[in-house]
Chains A and B, each alone.
Chain A
Amino acid sequence: RKEVEQDPGPFNVPEGATVAFNCTYSNSASQSFFWYRQDCRKEPKLLMSVYSSGNEDGRFTAQLNRASQYISLLIRDSKLSDSATYLCVVNRLNQGGKLIFGQGTELSVKP
């Protein structure tokens, strides 16, 4: 079983839709959690960190449930420019900054 698992999709949604991505992690020692965005054939870039109390950045909301070892990302009012692959990422304390990546969830927003 992979340490970080995501539904690979693809998710095909119309503009303006709300879409939610889920992610589970298996190592309870995981300490920090993130969503990265990767555009086609480009490098990953940090979208947002995920905090225990949940956090929002504009149209994006991230949630963390440590008890269930579950992370989510909600995108409201989807834009064409949101089309990308979203990577769920975890980091363990004192591990030299090593990141563990999920396989990514592909999102395609259509007009």
Chain B
Amino acid sequence: NAGVTQTPKFQVLKTGQSMTLQCAQDMNHNSMYWYRQDPGMGLRLIYYSASEGTTDKGEVPNGYNVSRLNKREFSLRLESAAPSQTSVYFCASRVAGGGYNEQFFGPGTRLTVL
């Protein structure tokens, strides 16, 4: 099993450009998440999908959109990138259901917006 995979690993954009970050998991997990990590801020939740067909806003959703394409894939789109979106983006997934289930993270996408 590859676990959680993310593409691309690195990306440089100019202000105003758009791009989609891809995430896929092969663990048959129900829930998927997108976080961003900035120095001194910890990880902050952007959007999540509790199950296939549903998406909800997290703590910092402005400037982003998501698509839960199927059970395996959850993409994050920046329609018009801004320098404030320079960050490391992590995708995660969990089984979901009763109680807490560990979240498994992908390796991250390092995005720079100039």
Contact = CB atoms under 8 A, between A and B. Distances in A.
Contacts of A80: none
Interface stretch (B12-20, B42-50, B61-69, B71-79): B42-50
A99 interface: yes
B96 A44 contact: no
B56 interface: yes
B44 A99 contact: no
Given A43-B106, A44-B90, A97-B103, A103 B48 contact: no
Interface residues of B, number: 24
B48 A96 contact: yes
Contacts, number: 52
Interface in B30-87: 31, 33, 35, 40-45, 48, 50, 56, 58
29 contacts: A4-B42, A32-B100, A42-B107, A43-B90, A43-B107, A43-B108, A44-B43, A44-B105, A46-B102, A46-B103, A87-B42, A91-B100, A96-B31, A96-B48, A97-B31, A97-B48, A97-B50, A97-B96, A97-B101, A97-B103, A98-B48, A98-B58, A99-B43, A99-B45, A101-B43, A102-B42, A103-B41, A103-B42, A104-B42
9 closest A-B pairs by CB: A43-B105, A101-B42, A103-B42, A101-B43, A96-B50, A32-B100, A46-B102, A97-B31, A97-B94
Interface of B: 31, 33, 35, 40-45, 48, 50, 56, 58, 90, 94, 96, 100-103, 105-108
